Amino acid sequence: MTFTVGSGFSRTRRVFAAAALLAAASAPLAAHHSAAMFDDEKVVELNGTIKEVQWANPHIWIQVVVDNNGQKSEWSIEGGSPNTLSRNGWKATTFKSGDPVLVRVNPMKDGTSAGQFIGAKWKDTGKTIGRWE
């Protein structure tokens, strides 16, 4: 028995079936989280040292230790996906543990020590990555 989309299906049913398939295929896109927790109206510049980089899907994380007048705190910085960053020249080794950096982020709205990556500048070489004006 051979089944053809046109046989026994009205045009309305075919359109509905196509729409249902399209909706099912786009479900993974809807599962992606938003950036609503970051305050995109503010930019914070962190003067610190790279502790580690977690190069993993769905987004990389950069841990930065910031010394603020003798008070050390650790910031978790969310970056893009490894795939997207790789296509823009990043590598898992772009940031190395111990690198002295200035990092610009959109901070968390709730005030926790975390943010969304904007750009970074290495203090020893002056090299920049991301958006650095």
Spans of the chain below 50 pLDDT: 3, 17-31
44-130 in CATH: which number?
Answer: 2.40.50.140
Pairing state between β 128-130 and 114-122: antiparallel
Q: What local confidence, expressed as pLDDT, does residue 29 receive? A: 44
Convert 21-49 to b/e letters by CB count within 10 Å (16 or more is b): eeeeeeeeeeeeeeeebbbeeeebebebb
Cis? peptide before 100, omega within 30° of 0: no
Q: What local confidence, expressed as pLDDT, does residue 16 receive? A: 53
**Calpha distance 61→75 (Å, rounded):** 10
In the chain, the percentage of residues whose pLDDT exceeds 70 is 74
Evaluate if pTM is beyond 0.75.
Answer: no
Return the domain boundaries, the chain.
Answer: 1-32, 44-130
pLDDT, tens only, 26-57: 444 444 556 778 999 999 999 999 999 999 99
Q: What local confidence, expressed as pLDDT, does residue 6 receive? A: 53
